Structure 1
Amino acid sequence: MSMAVSEQALDRVIDEMIEVVENSKDEIFHISEAARTEYEQLVIELEITKKKVLEYIEMGDELEDRVRKSRKQLALVSKNFDKYSEEEIHDVYEKTHDLQTRLIMVRNREKAMRDKRDDIDRRLQSLSKTIERAEGLANKISVIHTYLQDDFQQVNEILENAKEKQEFGLKIIEAQEEERRKISREIHDGPAQMLANILLRSEIIEKTYRKGDMEKAIEELKDVRRMARSSLYEVRRIIYDLRPMALDDLGLVPTIKKYIDTTADYHKMDIDFTIIGKDSRLQHKYEIALFRLMQEALQNAIKHSQASKIQVKLEINCQHVILIVKDNGIGFDPSLKQQDKSFGLIGMKERVEMLKGTMNIQSDYGQGTTVTIKVPFNPSS
C-alpha cells in the first residue's frame, strides 16, 4: 500500500516536471519571438541610419568643396587687401567662418550616425546569437519533454525507494524554480529598472529640447547613454551566468579568468586564480563540467563562508585535471552538510562521477574550506 502511494506521489512529481518543462518551452519561445521582433526593428533602423550616414557624407563633401573655394576667395582678398571694401572683406570672412562651422557640425553628425550604425550592427549580431541559442535551447527542452513523457515512467522500475524518487523530482523542480526566481529578480532589479529610468529620462530630454535648452538636453542624453551602457552590462552579466559564450569561443582558462574577475568586482572580494600546466583547449565535456564545478564551489564560498579571500587553482597535466577552490571563511562540518543532502554538493558530486573523478571537501569550523576535484584526463583522446 505504501509503495503504491509513493509511486502515485512520484507520478504527480513527474506530471509537475512535465508542466514546468512545457512552461519553460513557452517562455523560451516568447523570448525568441521578442528577440526576432527587436531584430527586425533594428534591421529597419540600421537601413535608415545608413542612409543618414550617406546623406551627411554627401553634405560634408559638398561643404568641404565650398569651404575650399571660400578659402581661396579669402586668400585672394587678403592678398589684394586694398582692392576690396571693408564690407566685402567682412562678408568673405563671415561666409568662410559660417561654412567651416557648418562643416564641423555636419561631420559631428556624420560621426554620431556612424557610431549609431556600428552600435546597431553589434546589437544585431548579439540578437542573432541570442535567437540561435534560444532555438537550440528550445530543441533541447523538446527532447527533455519527450523523454519525460515517454521514457521517464521507467524510473519506477529503476529506483527502489519511492520516497527517494519523490525527493529527487522535487529537488529538480525546486532548483528550476529557484533559478527562475533568481533570474527574474536580477532582471527586475537590474535591466528592467534601468530601462524604465531611460524611458523617463528620454521624456525629460524631449521636453528640454522643445524648450530650446540644448546644453541641458545634451547632458541628459549623456546620462541616458551611461544608463544604457550599464543596462547592457547587467544583461550581459546575467547571460554570462546562464551560459558563458566565451567557453565555446576561448576555452576553459580564459573563461574562468573572466568569470573570476567579474565576480570579484561584483562582490568586492579578493579572489585569486592560478593556472598550472599548459593553457590549452580541452574536450567540450571537460570544459563545461569543470567550469560549472568551479562556479558552484566559488558561489558556495561567496554565499556561505563569510571569507575575505578565495583562491582558485587549476592544474592541467598529461594525466589529470585538478581544480581547487579554497577560502579562509568560517568553515563547516562536511558530514553534516552531506546529511542535509545539499543539492549543490549532490550536483557537483554527480558531475565529478560522470567524469570518473573524485571530489574531496576539507573543512572545519573556523578553519575555512578547501574543495579539491581531481578528474582523469588524456589530452590525446
Structure 2
Amino acid sequence: MVFKTDENERNTEQLRESISEKISLAESKLEGVTTKIRQSQAEVDKLAQKQISNSAKVRNIKENTSEFTAVDVRDAYDEALEAQQRLFVMRGQMDKFRSEQGHLQELIMQLQDMNGYLTKTPLLEGGDTELDPAEFVESVIKAQELERKRLSNAMHDGPAQALSNFILQVEIAQRLFDIDLDQARDELDALKATASATFTKVRDFIFELRPMMLDDLGLTPTLRHYFDAFNEQNEIEVHFTASGTERRLESYLEIMIFRAVQELVSNAARHSQASSVKTHIDTNEDRVAVDVEDDGQGFNEEQALGNSMGIKVIKERVDILNGEFNIDTAIGQGTRIGFTIPLATEGQDVFA
C-alpha cells in the first residue's frame, strides 16, 4: 500500500511520535494491571488458606458428628461454601487481569515493532489514496484491542463464569451426600443441566472465535448456520438470502466478509431496536455484494463513521480491497449498509 503525503519525513516522524505515546500509555496501563494482579494474588492466597482451615473444620465435623449441633454443622458448611465461592470469583478476576496483561504486553511489542520498521523504512510518497497513515495504524490497533476486549469479556462472562459455577455446584453436591441424599440428587440434576448449558456456551464461543465451517464449506453455508443459531438465541429475527454463483472465495475474503456481516447484524441487534434484519449476499464471477438492512431507529451517518469502530473498520477494509461501501440511514428510518468487493480473475490482483 502507498500512502499519500507531501512531507514524507515529517509524517514519518509524527507517526513515530504517535506510536511512542501509545507505547507509554500501554505501559502505564500494564503497570496498573500488574499491581491489580499482585493485590488479587494476595487476596487469593488468603482465601486459599481460609479454605484449608474450613476444610479441616468440615472434616472434623464429619468425624465427630455427635459432638456438634445441627446449627454448628450448617454454619460450618455455609462458611466453607461462601469462602469457596469468593475464591472462585477472585480466581476468575485474576484470569481476567492476566488476560489483559498479556494483551497489553503483545500490544506494546507490536507498537515497538512498528516504530522499528518506520525507523528503517519511512512512509512512501505518491499514490492517490486518501488514507492517512497515522489514522490507519490507529484504527488497526483499536480494532485489534476492541476485538480482544470483546473476546475477553465474552470468555469471562460466558464459559469461564459457567465453569466456575459448575465447579461450585460439584462442591455443593459432594457435601450434600453426607447431609441430605434427596437434595443431593436434585443438585446433580441441576448440575447436569449446567453442564449442558456450559457446553453450548463453549461451542458458541468457539464458533464466534473462528467458525471451522468457513474453511470446510465456505461463506454462504457458514452464514446460514450462523443465522440459524442467531435466531434461536435472540429476539430479533434475521432473514438471510443468497443469489448468484455459490463459490469459494479467497480465505481472507471469506473471513473478512463473515466478520463484517457478523458485526453489522450484531450492531442491529444491540443498538438499533430493530425487530428484523434482512441480509443478502450476491456473488458472481467478478464481484461479491453484501447488503444488511434493518427496520430499527437509524442513526446519523457521519457520527456512525466517526464513533463506531466496527463500521469504520469495515469501510476501511472494503476501501483497501478497492471496493465500494454505502450507508443509507436516517433517524427513525432504519438502516441499510452495503458493500461490494471486486474478485480477482486469473492473472489479476484485487489490490491493484
Please say whether Structure 1 and Structure 2 have the same fold, judged by a TM-score greater than 0.5. Answer: yes
2:277 corresponds to: 310
1:281 corresponds to: 248
Decide whether aligned partners of structure 1 residues 380 and 259 sit closer, same or farther in structure 2, where only a CA change above 3 A counts.
farther
2:291 corresponds to: 324
Decide whether aligned partners of structure 1 residues 153 and 302 sit closer, same or farther in structure 2, where only a CA change above 3 A counts.
farther
Decide whether aligned partners of structure 1 residues 270 and 212 sit closer, same or farther in structure 2, where only a CA change above 3 A counts.
closer
Residue among 146, 152, 155 paired with 1:187 = 155
Check the 8 A contact 2:323/2:342 in 1, yes or no: yes
Q: Does the residue aligned with 1:374 lie in a helix, a strand or coil?
A: strand
How far apart are residue 227 of structure 1 and its match?
0.8
2:318 corresponds to: 352
1:295 corresponds to: 262
1:12 corresponds to: 20
**Separation of aligned partners in 2, 1:313 and 1:144:** 37
Q: Percent identity?
A: 32
Residue among 199, 223, 236 paired with 1:232 = 199
Alignment of 1:265-276 (within 5 A): 265-276=232-243
Decide whether aligned partners of structure 1 residues 145 and 170 sit closer, same or farther in structure 2, where only a CA change above 3 A counts.
closer
Residue among 200, 204, 216 paired with 1:249 = 216
Deviations 1:94-130 (A, max 9, x none): xxxxxxxxxxxxxxxxxxxxxxxxxxxxxxxxxxxxx
**Separation of aligned partners in 2, 1:172 and 1:356:** 18
Q: Does the residue aligned with 1:307 lie in a helix, a strand or coil?
A: coil
Alignment of 1:13-28 (within 5 A): 13=21, 15=23
Deviations 1:318-355 (A, max 9, x none): 232111100111112324434x2643222112221233
Provide the aligned length of Structure 1 versus Structure 2.
Answer: 258
**Separation of aligned partners in 2, 1:17 and 1:216:** 53
In proportion to residue count, which structure has more helix? 1
1:199 corresponds to: 167
Alignment of 1:150-161 (within 5 A): 150-153=116-119, 157-158=123-124
Given residue 234 of structure 1, which amino acid in structure 2 is its aligned partner?
A: K
How far apart are residue 312 of structure 1 and its match?
0.4
Given residue 365 of structure 1, which amino acid in structure 2 is its aligned partner?
A: I
Decide whether aligned partners of structure 1 residues 239 and 257 sit closer, same or farther in structure 2, where only a CA change above 3 A counts.
same
Check the 8 A contact 1:294/1:325 in 2, yes or no: yes
CA RMSD, aligned part only?
Answer: 3.7
Residue among 364, 371, 380 paired with 2:330 = 364
Decide whether aligned partners of structure 1 residues 353 and 5 sit closer, same or farther in structure 2, where only a CA change above 3 A counts.
closer
Q: Does the residue aligned with 1:151 lie in a helix, a strand or coil?
A: helix
Range 250-259 or range 5-14, more displaced: 5-14
Given residue 240 of structure 2, which amino acid in structure 1 is its aligned partner?
A: F
Give unpaired runs (5+ residues) of structure 2.
1-9, 32-105, 127-131, 348-352
Deviations 1:48-88 (A, max 9, x none): xxxxxxxxxxxxxxxxxxxxxxxxxxxxxxxxxxxxxxxxx
2:37 corresponds to: none
Given residue 376 of structure 1, which amino acid in structure 2 is its aligned partner?
A: P
Check the 8 A contact 2:242/2:282 in 1, yes or no: yes
**Separation of aligned partners in 1, 2:12 and 2:220:** 50
Q: Does the residue aligned with 2:177 lie in a helix, a strand or coil?
A: helix
Decide whether aligned partners of structure 1 residues 363 and 191 sit closer, same or farther in structure 2, where only a CA change above 3 A counts.
same
Decide whether aligned partners of structure 1 residues 183 and 378 sit closer, same or farther in structure 2, where only a CA change above 3 A counts.
closer
Decide whether aligned partners of structure 1 residues 9 and 197 sit closer, same or farther in structure 2, where only a CA change above 3 A counts.
same
Give unpaired runs (5+ residues) of structure 1.
24-139
How far apart are residue 212 of structure 1 and its match?
7.4
Check the 8 A contact 2:27/2:108 in 1, yes or no: no
**Separation of aligned partners in 1, 2:25 and 2:139:** 11
Q: Which has the larger radius of gyration?
A: 1
**Separation of aligned partners in 1, 2:300 and 2:154:** 31
Check the 8 A contact 1:330/1:367 in 2, yes or no: yes
How far apart are residue 191 of structure 1 and its match?
2.3
Given residue 329 of structure 2, which amino acid in structure 1 is its aligned partner?
A: S
Given residue 261 of structure 2, which amino acid in structure 1 is its aligned partner?
A: M
Decide whether aligned partners of structure 1 residues 366 and 195 sit closer, same or farther in structure 2, where only a CA change above 3 A counts.
same
**Separation of aligned partners in 1, 2:222 and 2:245:** 15
Instruction: Calculate the TM-score normalised by the size of structure 1.
Output: 0.57
Check the 8 A contact 2:290/2:338 in 1, yes or no: yes
Check the 8 A contact 1:18/1:145 in 2, yes or no: no
The answer to whether the aligner puts 1:373 opposite 2:339 as a matched pair is yes
